[in-house]
Amino acid sequence: MVTTSEARVEAAFEELAVERPLLSKVKEFARKQPLGTFGAVIVLVMVFSALFADFIAPHDPINNSYEHILESYSSTYLLGTDQFGRDILSRIIYGARTALLVGFTAAIIGSVTGLVLGVASAFFGGRFDLLFQRVMDVFMAFPLIILALAVVSIFGTGIQNVIIAITIPFIPRCARVVRSSALAIREIPYIDAARANGFSNARIILRHMVPNVMAPFLIMITAFVGQAILLEASLSYLGLGVQEPVPAWGLMLQGGAEEYAESAPWVAIWPGVAVSLAVFGFNLFGDSVRDTLDPKLRSQ
């Protein structure tokens, strides 16, 4: 008869057996992809700052302190204050929340929509694929920032509209990449076998085609998050993105990049560093994910 203590020991060993492969995979990833690990650390720090901004930030990010306007580095304000006396460090920490909200939401919605459309285009082919590709060509003809500006000019400013403006340019780019992978999968014999067994088109697409295009899909998401953060900062800098008093890195650059470049350079330097690190981290992590998931690179 197994006692309670023995059962707990067995459960602990089972839990370690499950966790050990995951830990070994993390160690292997860190050994083979040091730059990707560095990018992952930047992403994790950014996510941690966004989740626990209420506890990490030393000051209220929207509280104006007019007696401390453009104050330089000090023990109270580690990165100085802006033209309204707001703590720059606190606004950068809370700005990570805005950047990740826009970045992840736009990247996931745009990638998932592109995944569905790309797989459907490859699966059905014919006139549907021809028409779909011509529509995608129209969207692809515009640079990301130009198309985002056009959408914002139609829907207006604000976080929700910025997410929509950034999501729309991502859809055709993801759909193109996914379609190219799905075209090769469509010709594999097990797709014909699924059709012969009478499976519905929806089942074939969801159960047999979508799982086989997840590698490029995941790579696109990591790349899109960095692009979305940069686009959000660009739109906010132009005054067409997130509006005051919401803490956002692009807004911080808009308020201090030009007017205070000489008298108070810290107003523009630290938000610019935050944007650069975020995009750099996601790009490094995305490249390492691509190298890990690509079987040709993985076998080298």
291: left (phi over 0), alpha (psi -120 to 50) or beta: alpha
Task: Collect all residues with Cβ–Cβ distance below 8 Å to 292 and sequence separation of at least 6.
Answer: 29, 32, 33, 36, 298
Lowest mean pLDDT among 23-32, 46-55, 64-73, 144-153: 23-32
pLDDT in tens, 59-73: 999 888 888 888 888
Q: Against a cut of 0.85, is the pTM above it?
A: no
Rounded to an integer, what distance in angstroms lies between the CA atom of residue 86 and that of residue 105? 28
Q: How confident is the model at residue 295 (pLDDT cuts 50, 70, 90)?
A: low
Query: What percent of the chain lies above the pLDDT cut of 70?
Result: 89
Task: Collect all residues with Cβ–Cβ distance below 8 Å to 61 and sequence separation of at least 6.
Answer: 86, 87, 90, 91, 93, 94, 247
Residue 153 has pLDDT above 50, yes or no: yes
Residue 39 in contact with residue 33, Cβ under 8 Å?
no
Query: What percent of the chain lies above the pLDDT cut of 90?
Result: 26
pLDDT in tens, 112-126: 999 988 888 888 888
In our burial notation (b when 16+ CB lie closer than 10 A, e otherwise), range 69-86 reads ebbeeeeebebbbbebbb
Residue 113 in contact with residue 217, Cβ under 8 Å?
no
Q: How confident is the model at residue 6 (pLDDT cuts 50, 70, 90)?
A: very low
Residue 229 in contact with residue 103, Cβ under 8 Å?
yes
Top pLDDT among 85 and 259 is at: 85
Please state at what angle helix 88-124 crosses helix 249-256, rounded to 10 degrees: 130
For 269, the token pair is 């330097």
Residue 100 in contact with residue 49, Cβ under 8 Å?
no
Top pLDDT among 27 and 86 is at: 86
- In the chain the domains, ranked by start, together with CATH numbers, are 47-53+78-298 (1.10.3720.10)
Residue 2 has pLDDT above 60, yes or no: no
Top pLDDT among 178 and 191 is at: 178
Task: Annotate the chain with three-state secondary structure.
Answer: CCCHHHHHHHHHHHHHHHHHHHHHHHHHHHHHCHHHHHHHHHHHHHHHHHHCHHHHCCCCCCCCCHHHCCCCCCCCCCCCECCCCCEHHHHHHHHHHHHHHHHHHHHHHHHHHHHHHHHHHHHHCHHHHHHHHHHHHHHHCCCHHHHHHHHHHHHCCCHHHHHHHHHHHHHHHHHHHHHHHHHHHHCCHHHHHHHHCCCCHHHHHHHHHHHHHHHHHHHHHHHHHHHHHHHHHHHHHCCCCCCCCCCCHHHHHHHHCCCCCCCCCHHHHHHHHHHHHHHHHHHHHHHHHHHHHCHHHHCC
pLDDT in tens, 181-194: 888 887 788 777 87
Rounded to an integer, what distance in angstroms lies between the CA atom of residue 116 and that of residue 123? 11
